[in-house]
Amino acid sequence: MCLTFENLPDEIILYICQYLRGADVLYSFYNLNTRLNTALTGYCRYVNLMGVAYKKLTYVIYHVLPCIGQHVRSFCLNTYWESMIPDQLSQLLYSSRLCGIFPYIENLTVRGFSSERLQVFLDCIENLPRLDNLKIQFLSGSSTGICLRKLFSANQGRLSKVFFDWNSIDLDIPQDTSDISCPNIQELTIPLTSINTLARLCKVIPNVHCLHVNLGTFFVDIGNCAEAFEDVSPLLRLVDFSIDSIDWFCPFDAFVAMIRKMPSLQKLKFNLCTEEESFLVEENIRMNLPISCYQIDYFIDYSPSEMDSEIKNLLTSKRTVPSSVHLLFDETHDILNIHTVPCCIQSFVLSGSVAKQMMSGSSYAEHIRNLHIYDAQCLNDVFQILQHFRHLHTLSINTLNSLTMLNNSTTSNKPIVFHLPYLKQLRIDGTCELSNLLDAASDLYQFNVDFDCVKMFIQNHARSTRTNVRSIDIFNWTDTHAELLQHITQTFVTLNHVNIHMASRTSTMDSFLLEYLPVCKNGMQVSLGVKGSLSEQVQTNIRQWVIDHSHLSEKDSFAVQYRRDWFQLWF
């Protein structure tokens, strides 16, 4: 018996949709018939249109979203679209009309906004009775450009959960917070400029239950950071707290002053860089915690001005080290890392030199999602570390010398086996052989790499990769020809977007684009972004210039612009 797609049972149709991107499902199947529309109603609750073709996005916004909007509970809005899509579509999404399209939305994600643009957009979020969760990703601009009172009071104060990702700028808070109170905020993840800023934040969110903070590298008010908590009222409802300040040296007295304002704390997680030995004794921390605290996880980067003999004896003997912690010593920089076992924090920062000191197994690191490996001297050290971090979502690797090639030299004949099935983002600073890393990360989505590194990979590998890479950022591009770019799209067959950062800002990208555009005739319609200088003559009528030098016509569905030194061509 042969069945057409629309005659399949709902369960099978929805099962098939799991393997397709949301935009592809809505573009291909919605409005084919009434039965399919009914079957897809539940599927439409979580709409993510990121990383799709221009034609599909504009079609879904114009023809589908107004029909399914009342069923949508979660939506992601990218500021990149605003200047690229037609004005009539921008007015649907970036104005108060958004509330009419999604009247029952519960979770809204905004991506790529500047702090100034977000301030304006917040006025558009109103009278949405179910919207209580706002996620902000890749926020740029000024650290003081966001008015927290306006942010936390958006949607008539209905927001209870606000999340900033770690790719967003560190935020500052005014000294005087006496007229600010946001009792509606219960869960908050936020990057801040300093621990003093955190103290000011605590004054305005008295009912927070869950607070996750990432501190930046600003030192302007470090001198009195312990005193900053003196006039902070206890956060009586805070039960889950985590702080990440690996780029800032945290004083122990400031840490104690902070956690003493959390009398109901149950879970504490911290990732700190310090010069003080007080952090090395866990009892010093526990004695300042409330009796309600039953879980503590930490990663401490201890970097004293001089490593004394007592600490070095501890490292060599390990007799007094309890089984609940593990030590890693970076001899190159005299840095001691201490972490709990198991370790339920989100991020690790490790030197390549500690590869042979890692614990056996991987279960103790199953909660770690982000890993940065610095000063790596050879890939085998990297692989030896990675075999313990199967559940990573993001990975960045920095070589000891960015101009030195990482090699596979090893004294062991036994290959190091590692798998990264959940890895979504990979960044490599320097040059190394990519095959093993890409083979291990079959579900990789975003890849950032240097020009020399990807060039070496393309030259050595004729076959396509097994990864699902959709977007690549290539830095320090020095080639004046576009032939390599064509090979890249043939190797990464799932690729739909490439960003190129030109090494030289003095020469224009005109000649490079003149070589790339004709290549699209062969069906290679990968959207392109190029960071660099474009001649004023081309900028005058950039769309017509692209049409004149490619197979594209005025009737084709594509967008092109040049803003802030970025050329963007979106198919």
Is residue 392 pLDDT above 90, yes or no? Answer: yes
Can you point out the beta strands (E) in 66-150?
Answer: 74-78, 107-111, 133-137
Let me know if residue 428 belongs to a domain: yes
What is the model's pLDDT at position 4?
76
**Residue 26 gets which letter from DSSP?**
H
* Residue-wise pLDDT tens digits, 315-351: 555 445 566 888 998 887 888 899 999 999 999 999 9
Nearest residue to 139 (alpha-carbon basis) of 165, 104, 177: 165
**What is the pLDDT confidence band of residue 421, given thresholds at 50, 70 and 90?**
very high
* Residue-wise pLDDT tens digits, 482-504: 788 888 888 888 888 999 998 87
Query: Where does a domain end: 86, 104, 122?
Result: 104
**What is the pLDDT confidence band of residue 19, given thresholds at 50, 70 and 90?**
confident
Q: Residue 206 — left, alpha, or beta (φ > 0 → left; ψ -120 to 50 → alpha)?
A: alpha
Let me know if residue 520 belongs to a domain: yes
Let me know if residue 78 belongs to a domain: yes
CA 17 distance to own-chain centroid: 25
What is the model's pLDDT at position 522?
52
Is residue 380 pLDDT above 70, yes or no? Answer: yes
Find the mean pLDDT for residues 308-315. 57
Q: Over the chain, what is the mean pLDDT?
A: 87
Is residue 521 pLDDT above 80, yes or no? Answer: no
Same domain assignment for residues 289 and 316 = yes
Same domain assignment for residues 358 and 504 = no
Q: Which of 11-15, 282-286, 473-477 has the highest mean pLDDT?
A: 473-477
What is the model's pLDDT at position 219?
46
Is residue 218 pLDDT above 50, yes or no? Answer: no
How buried is residue 19: exposed, middle or buried, by Cβ count under 10 Å (0-12/13-18/19+)?
exposed
What is the model's pLDDT at position 504?
76
- Characterize the bridge pairing of strands 431-432 and 446-450: unpaired
Query: Are the C-beta atoms of residues 153 and 119 closer than 8 Å to each other?
Result: no
**Residue 233 gets which letter from DSSP?**
P
Let me know if residue 134 belongs to a domain: no
Query: Are the C-beta atoms of residues 234 and 207 closer than 8 Å to each other?
Result: no
Same domain assignment for residues 401 and 495 = no
Grouping H, G, I as helix, E, B as strand and the rest as coil, residue 348 is strand
Same domain assignment for residues 435 and 520 = no
* Residue-wise pLDDT tens digits, 35-91: 888 888 777 889 989 888 899 999 999 999 999 999 999 999 999 999 999 999 999
Same domain assignment for residues 351 and 313 = no
- CA distances, 507 to each of 412, 452, 534, 553 (Å): 47, 20, 8, 28
Let me know if residue 561 belongs to a domain: yes
What is the model's pLDDT at position 409?
59
- CA distances, 76 to each of 13, 30, 111, 231, 232 (Å): 24, 19, 7, 39, 36
Q: Phi/psi at 215 (nearest 5 deg)?
A: -95, 140
Q: What is the number of structural domains in the chain?
A: 4
Query: Are the C-beta atoms of residues 455 and 488 closer than 8 Å to each other?
Result: no
Same domain assignment for residues 372 and 430 = yes
Same domain assignment for residues 178 and 291 = yes
**What is the pLDDT confidence band of residue 122, given thresholds at 50, 70 and 90?**
very high
Task: Say what angle helices 252-259 and 195-202 make with each other, to 10 degrees.
Answer: 10
Q: Which domain holds residue 549?
A: 470-571
**Residue 1 gets which letter from DSSP?**
-
Same domain assignment for residues 87 and 185 = no
What is the model's pLDDT at position 404?
62
**What is the pLDDT confidence band of residue 387, given thresholds at 50, 70 and 90?**
very high
What is the model's pLDDT at position 333?
80
Let me know if residue 139 belongs to a domain: no
Query: Where does a domain end: 55, 83, 104?
Result: 104
CA–CA–CA angle 195, 198, 200 (5° rounding):
120
Is residue 369 pLDDT above 90, yes or no? Answer: yes
Let me know if residue 165 belongs to a domain: no
Same domain assignment for residues 421 and 488 = no
Same domain assignment for residues 425 and 478 = no
Percentage of the chain modeled with pLDDT above 90: 51
What is the model's pLDDT at position 411?
52
CA torsion angle for 387, 389, 394, 399 (degrees, to 10)?
-50
Can you point out the beta strands (E) in 37-172?
Answer: 46-47, 74-78, 107-111, 133-137, 161-164
Let me know if residue 541 belongs to a domain: yes
Is residue 408 pLDDT above 70, yes or no? Answer: no
Same domain assignment for residues 427 and 563 = no
What is the model's pLDDT at position 498?
93
Query: Where does a domain end: 398, 422, 440?
Result: 440
* Residue-wise pLDDT tens digits, 144-202: 767 888 999 999 999 999 999 988 999 988 888 888 899 999 999 999 988 889 999 99
Same domain assignment for residues 310 and 233 = yes
Q: Residue count of the chain, please give it.
A: 571
466 or 514, which is more confident?
514
Alpha-carbon gap, residue 456 to 436, rounded angstroms: 14
